[in-house]
A and B are shown apart, each in its own frame.
Chain A
Amino acid sequence: MALLEVEEVSVSFRRARGWFGHEETQVIQDLNLSVSEGEIVAVVGASGSGKSVLAQAIMGILPANATIEGRISYAGEPLTMDRKLHLRGDKMVYIPQSVSYLDPLLKVGRQVQPVSQKTGRKHGSTLRSTMQKAEQELTGRYGLPQGTSGKYPFELSGGMARRVLMATATSGAPKLIIADEPTPGIHPEVLAETMKHFRQLANKGVGILWITHDITTALTAADRITVFYAGSNVETAQVCDFTGKGERLRHPYTKALWNALPQNEFQPLSGAQPAAGRQQIEGCSFAPRCIGATMACTNERPELRKVRGGEVRCVHAT
């Protein structure tokens, strides 16, 4: 059974325009996604494609001027705000993108604590034991130097702070982890350890939604990859499809992404991703950059359809 189901979700933001008007920019359009128990789904896309907004929408931490449409359900039941409040921090955890999410006034050890409904907040008497547990977790699992748990967030380097962020989420017993760009700036060895840790969690039945732009890292541990472009998912593929020159990939954007990697062709595709809401494009949003674009591509927005064990939003995919 799918742990998390996102169906036809659209998110738009309302902003003031000039002095008297307002505009509505749609950041995510008709998104479909699902994460099952024990599965790691990686969402790969460029910055500005709407990935972080997706994470915020699921967790319910969108800013006040955002409107959401569509359905999000957790464990089969719709995910209402009340349910979110109940599940957040406990069964559903979020690893944020920016290290500024850590409380700058609290020592790191105290922030790496499970916030569980059952155990509640830490008491003064158990502080030392929880600090010790936190220290163990940080130095053992994440390879941080001794004494990290006694430091404040501003004393950590970027990579170290990121590992602390991960520790805050995994120290409890979550069922669903949403990780928003958790890995840039981390040394390959520690990265491998971290991915192994996530894999272990997944094997125990935790569902992980992994949002990143780094497709290489995603491929090391994910089960399925969903590719984002201009606010919508354009392909969902299995990890084994990412080999060679990307012949088994379905969408031209995914192939371009694969071929642009330094270990592959390192060949870029020209053009840039259309920014949210700024350029309203009829038809497929990738068509302006696509060499295989035809008239059919510019008429209507392609539907998501199943192709060879994955999904793709392209008229020409086979």
Chain B
Amino acid sequence: MKQTLERPSRPAAQTAQHLKVNSPKSEAGNKRNWRPVHPRIHGGKGYSGGGIPRFRNPRKWAIIWGGLGVIWIATVWLTGRLLPAESTLTSLMDRNLAPAWAHPFGTDWLGRDMFLRTLKGLATSIQVGLLAACGGGLIALLLGLAAASGKAVDRVISWIIDLFLSVPHLVSLVMLAFVFGGGLPGVTLAIALTHWPNLARIVRAEMIQLRSAEYIHISRRLGHSRIRIAVQHMLPHLIPQLFVGVLLIFPHAILHEAAITFLGLGLSPQQPAIGIILSESMRYLSAGMWWLAFFPGLALLLVVRAFDVLGGSLKTLTGTGSSREVV
């Protein structure tokens, strides 16, 4: 069986928080045979061999990346808002200039500075996205709650959700934008009405699961009213999911807005939005003016990605359990 070992006593200055598992125990020639380490056990990325892997606290990185995302988006939006309208005035003297120090993104065929135009366009896109996402989120919340409240209502709403989900996104988007007459209201409404189904499903599923939880029943037996239970137990579970869901509609909203405007159904050409900028620049690509499409496109990509990262960070920060584990 087991032979008695000469185990060295643990160093006295150990606290619960900083228990060093791999502290060297080298006394009395006592060999600890290391198990052949499989990367999966230590969960390290590209980790091999002994020693403590590089530690990554997910919440810390979530805050950092999330914070950067917020700063980036806010900066873009603010500068876009605060730019005076004159900054994108035409100036026929400076037509078709390639990117240079005076005009970082170049100028277009009317001499308008592309950099400022892109910023303004992004600001508009972000606003449209915000409106559409909130609208979609509101619809999703109401319908999701309604679906969870009764069997008959649930059937009707589930049917509607399936209906909306079965039509291809872009098709219904174009159709709705057309129906609502195009322009800013048309685009916003169209996006709001096509992006609520997934979120509504999530809300509905969460509510149904919560309703059957034992602690909800216990709360009722302890004398609390239904409303109190809804506010204290259910809402805190729901709100983080809802918030993250709405935030993740943003990228879709912005891209779809760009797509619709690109197709000519969205905002008017006078209002610089990324979609307009991109659609107009298509004509000039063959003439070699690549900067007209490249920079706005890249800027759009970065903003959308920032929303994505923000949504992911919020997921990590508001999650329980698995978000505390470390890879």
Cα distance, A34 to B34, chains bound together (Å): 19
Establish whether residues B43 and A64, one from each chain, have CB atoms under 8 Å apart when the complex forms.
yes
Q: Do A14 and B326 form a contact, CB below 8 Å, given A19-B63, A67-B41, A70-B32? A: yes
Contact with B along A301-313 (1 / 0, CB 8 A): 1011110000100
Chain B hits for A16, CB < 8 A: 57-60, 323-326
**Distance (Å) between the CB of A55 and the closest chain B CB?**
16
Q: Is A103 an interface residue (CB 8 A)?
A: no
> In the bound complex, do residue A71 and residue B33 qualify as a contact, i.e. CB atoms below 8 Å apart?
yes
Query: Does A148 interact with chain B (Cβ within 8 Å)?
Result: no
What residues on A are CB-neighbors of B287 within 8 Å? none
In the assembled complex, how far is the CB of residue B248 from the closest CB belonging to chain A, in whole angstroms?
23
Counting contact residues on chain A (CB < 8 A from B), the size range is 35 or more
Give chain A residues whose Cβ lies under 8 Å from the Cβ of B58: 16
Are the C-beta atoms of B19 and A280 separated by less than 8 Å?
A: yes
- Alpha-carbon gap, A19 to B34, bound state (A): 32
Which residues of B are found within 8 Å of A24, using beta-carbon distances?
A: 18-21
Total interface residues on B, CB under 8 Å, equals 38
**Most chain A CB atoms below 10 A, which of B5, B35, B40:** B35
Is B166 part of the binding interface, using a Cβ–Cβ cutoff of 8 Å?
A: no
Task: Check: A265 CB closer than 8 A to any chain B CB.
Answer: no
The answer on a CB contact under 8 Å between B42 and A67 is yes
Q: How far is the CB of A118 from chain B (nearest CB, A)?
A: 26
Tell me if A70 and B35 are in contact (CB < 8 A). Answer: yes
The answer to whether B324 touches A10 (Cβ under 8 A) is no
Q: Does A124 contact B (CB under 8 A)?
A: no
Does A300 count as interface, using CB distance less than 8 angstroms? yes
Residues of B within 8 A of A67 (CB): 21-22, 41-42
Q: B19 and A12: CB pair below 8 A?
A: yes
Interface residues of B (CB under 8 A from A): 1-2, 4-5, 7, 9-10, 12, 14-22, 32-36, 38, 40-43, 55, 57-60, 63, 323-327
8 further A-B contacts with Cβ under 8 Å, apart from A16-B60, A280-B14, are A12-B21, A20-B57, A32-B2, A64-B43, A81-B38, A81-B41, A280-B15, A282-B12
17 residue pairs A–B, Cβ–Cβ below 8 Å:
A8-B5, A19-B59, A20-B60, A22-B57, A24-B18, A24-B19, A63-B325, A65-B326, A67-B41, A78-B35, A78-B36, A80-B38, A81-B38, A81-B41, A280-B19, A301-B9, A303-B4
